[in-house]
A and B are shown apart, each in its own frame.
Chain A
Amino acid sequence: MNAIELTNASKIYQRYGHRRQFATLKSALLSRSLVRDLNPTETFAAVKNVTFNVPKGQTLGVIGRNGSGKSTLLKLVAGIAKPTTGTVKVDGRISALIELGAGFHPEISGRENVFINGIMLGLTKREITRRFDEIVEFAELQEFIDAPVKNYSSGMYMRLGFAVAIHVDPDVLLVDEVLAVGDEGFTHKCLDKFSEFKRRGKTILLVTHSLGLVEKFCDDALWMDGGRLKLQGDPKRVVGAYVTDVERSEEQQLAAGDAKARDAAITVSPDEPSSAVLPDHPIETAEGPADMFRATEGRWGSREIEITAVELRGADGTAGHVFHTGQPFAVRVKLRAPVEMDDFVIGIGLFNAEGVCCYGTNTSLEAFKSVRVLGNGDVTFSIERLDLVEGTYKLDVAVHKLDGYPYDYHRLLYTFRVKSRTKDVGIYRPAHAWSFSPTVQFVKTEDAGPGER
């Protein structure tokens, strides 16, 4: 027995030409464009041919990127929007946690609003009276229930809205990203309430960006992409596929961003690689720590030795921009020296998003003395374990003389992202372990969000 059935459901929104936006009745009548303006010039399919069923008592998680049609899907199920084509069938009373407290009137008290909101959601007055105390207690608003709602904080407002919606006792509960309405404790209470719904055999449709919640809580998961149903099935599998896809697109974004930064940097100092003259562009001469902390992107140097390419490589040895903490990591620098040089140092600097230098080193500091370089060459800087916390990092790569005179300095031109299963904090993540005496007991959970896979 299915609680929710969607068959080839599509929702097509009509986008009107920009003339339409300013069209008024008068101008439409005057220019006789009423009929034409009312016809959409463009259509936009928010949901395309989606078919799925949710059996009674199941919890379905819907994930997907922003604008992938998740909320429209929920509105279709809720009946707020009608499908343009296809059918949507829902069996039982629906409560939609889409916009909490949507019907609240700011001027009247929380108490009166609970009654009116409850009636809007389909309860009778008597049912609300019976559940009133429970609702107020759930919302943690005992002291303020008789104050006008306009004086509520946004958190109080949302909690009250949530409390009313969840006490409607629906057969089908639709939740759209509303778990962020309170502090940790309130979120737990909401999750407990959902669990209780599950136990009582209610059907839940959960739209969320919290992938951990989908893995932990849902029986089935559905991944929306560009209005289409991309994948449905076991939550762990769907979330895994989704995370991989997100990483791939992050990868592309970072690559595109880096390319742009490099292009910009080259236009700043348009020197021919072979010209051994100093650029008139102001040169940051010293490599001292004061400079290392000054985070402006750019490229400068005489180009007597040129960095022609920088590649970041992960565990499998392929170039990329997204890496996982604890995995191997390497920076491969391609060099070209048109004439033979004997005084050179190759350096690497690693910065986090705040511009803090996490690590910096060069060949000279590590006691390599340069002998010669001519033509094309490769330099690889390898890290066995990338022990950084989750975040976005930027790289400095430079070739310069021992005294600091720059041949080619790439400042913060390479971006990469580190993903981590644990949400630890800081700058650096030393390899570590926990151990406990028998009197201190822990159980290992797999509760962390999806990360390395």
Chain B
Amino acid sequence: MLRNLATLFRYRGLIQSLVARELKARYRGSVLGFFWSFINPLMLLLIYTFVFAYIMPGRFHTGEVPVPFADAEPYALFLFCGLLPWTWFSASLNESSGVLISGGNLIKKVLFPAEVLPMVNVLANMVHFFLGLPILAIFLAYYRAPLSIAELAWFPVIVLVQLILTIGCALLLSALSVHFRDIRDIVSNLLTLWFFATPIIYPWKFAPDLGKWFLNANPFTHLAISYQEVLFFDGPFGHWRWLLALGVFSVAFFLFAYFIFDRLRDTFAEEV
């Protein structure tokens, strides 16, 4: 297994060109091309803001809202801080669950390291995430968000933790879905639930006590809170302990997922 992990490093050229291919192929033939990478998150943001801030202004909107949630304002910016990384995470998982099956030709006919496929997926979605960042930056500048260099230094750490966690999930899902095709459908439904079980459209403080306990068990909670604290909320980054703990968990989870993947590897060529 460790040797396989080492050879993975040798495949970085392959991964790199496959990611590039994925990105090129995705918008090939569309008029706006790469602009979709900017437009997609923007549209998503507009829709969510419209729905949650204007149609259902509920409890965490200004004015009549109780005091603690006034700080989730401007709401669009708050939403965007969590939504952008979530899109990366959920798209990666959604696509990864089917990636070995759709790439079956490669696994069956070419000597090809199968783990490259889910990784390429996660990385391609990471590039989309990065392309969404300038829009986030524009929003941050527009709303004069209180950014500090010390807090922003944590940003790459959060991204790294998310990357490791996402790759771990993607490896596990892709390997298992070869044997159980249902996983693809289960995942897409589960992700919807997961989205609402994560403090993205509502601030963390807003959750009831029982819910907080539940939310703490959700790894993405800590990523979302970290992004929000670094980019949105005032004051020092208080969530770093959770983040580092999640980092350790993510590495362990990645190793576990890779172990499972490695064990199932030889069955892929027969099953896909």
Q: Do A and B come from one complex?
A: yes
Residues of chain B contacted by A108 (CB below 8 angstroms)? 21, 24-25, 28
Known: A81-B269, A112-B21, A119-B17. A103 touches B106 (CB 8 A): yes
| Interface pick from B82-90, B108-116, B207-215 | B108-116
| Interface pick from B177-185, B234-242, B243-251, B253-261 | B177-185
Known: A13-B270, A102-B105. A96 touches B13 (CB 8 A): no
Asked whether, in the complex, the Cβ of A14 is within 8 Å of the Cβ of B270, the reply is yes
In the complex, how many residues of chain B place their beta carbon closer than 8 angstroms to a beta carbon of chain A? 25
Asked whether, in the complex, the Cβ of A79 is within 8 Å of the Cβ of B111, the reply is yes
Asked whether, in the complex, the Cβ of B24 is within 8 Å of the Cβ of A112, the reply is yes
Q: When chains A and B are docked, how far (Å) is the Cα of A81 from the Cα of B18?
A: 23
Asked whether, in the complex, the Cβ of A25 is within 8 Å of the Cβ of B106, the reply is no
Residues of chain B contacted by A81 (CB below 8 angstroms)? 269-270
- Does B14 belong to the interface (CB within 8 Å)? yes
- Does A223 belong to the interface (CB within 8 Å)? no
Residues of chain B contacted by A96 (CB below 8 angstroms)? 109-111
Q: When chains A and B are docked, how far (Å) is the Cα of A96 from the Cα of B18?
A: 20
Known: A25-B182, A116-B17. A80 touches B109 (CB 8 A): yes
Range class of the A interface residue count: 20 to 34
Q: How many Å from the CB of B189 to the closest CB on chain A?
A: 13
Q: When chains A and B are docked, how far (Å) is the Cα of A26 from the Cα of B185?
A: 12
Residues of chain A contacted by B18 (CB below 8 angstroms)? 116
Q: How many Å from the CB of A80 to the closest CB on chain B?
A: 6
Asked whether, in the complex, the Cβ of A24 is within 8 Å of the Cβ of B112, the reply is no
- Does A91 belong to the interface (CB within 8 Å)? no
Q: How many Å from the CB of B266 to the closest CB on chain A?
A: 5
Residues of chain B contacted by A196 (CB below 8 angstroms)? none
- Does B29 belong to the interface (CB within 8 Å)? yes
The residues in B between 156 and 192 inclusive whose CB is less than 8 angstroms from any CB of A are 180-183, 186
Q: When chains A and B are docked, how far (Å) is the Cα of A337 from the Cα of B91?
A: 84
Q: Which residue of chain A has its CB nearest to the CB of B22?
A: A105
Asked whether, in the complex, the Cβ of B28 is within 8 Å of the Cβ of A80, the reply is no
Asked whether, in the complex, the Cβ of A98 is within 8 Å of the Cβ of B109, the reply is yes
- Does A382 belong to the interface (CB within 8 Å)? no
Residues of chain A contacted by B109 (CB below 8 angstroms)? 80, 96, 98-99, 102
Residues of chain B contacted by A25 (CB below 8 angstroms)? 180, 182-183, 186
Q: How many Å from the CB of B68 to the closest CB on chain A?
A: 42
Residues of chain B contacted by A103 (CB below 8 angstroms)? 105-106, 110, 112
Residues of chain B contacted by A80 (CB below 8 angstroms)? 107-111, 269
Q: When chains A and B are docked, how far (Å) is the Cα of A103 from the Cα of B21?
A: 11
Q: How many Å from the CB of A107 to the closest CB on chain B?
A: 4
Q: How many Å from the CB of A158 to the closest CB on chain B?
A: 13
The residues in A between 256 and 302 inclusive whose CB is less than 8 angstroms from any CB of B are none
Residues of chain B contacted by A124 (CB below 8 angstroms)? 13
Point out which of B14, B18, B24, B110 has the most chain A C-beta atoms below 10 A from its C-beta: B110
- Does A125 belong to the interface (CB within 8 Å)? yes
Q: When chains A and B are docked, how far (Å) is the Cα of A14 from the Cα of B14?
A: 32
- Does A409 belong to the interface (CB within 8 Å)? no
- Does A393 belong to the interface (CB within 8 Å)? no
Q: When chains A and B are docked, how far (Å) is the Cα of A79 from the Cα of B182?
A: 29
Interface residues of B (CB under 8 A from A): 13-14, 17-18, 21, 24-25, 28-29, 105-112, 180-183, 186, 266, 269-270
28 A-B pairs, CB-CB below 8 angstroms?
Answer: A14-B270, A24-B182, A28-B180, A78-B111, A80-B108, A80-B110, A80-B269, A81-B270, A82-B266, A96-B109, A96-B110, A96-B111, A99-B105, A99-B110, A102-B109, A103-B110, A107-B25, A108-B24, A108-B25, A112-B21, A112-B24, A116-B18, A116-B21, A120-B14, A120-B110, A124-B13, A125-B13, A125-B17
Please provide the 5 A-B residue pairs with the shortest distance between their CB atoms, ordered closest to farther.
A99-B109, A25-B180, A107-B25, A102-B109, A107-B28
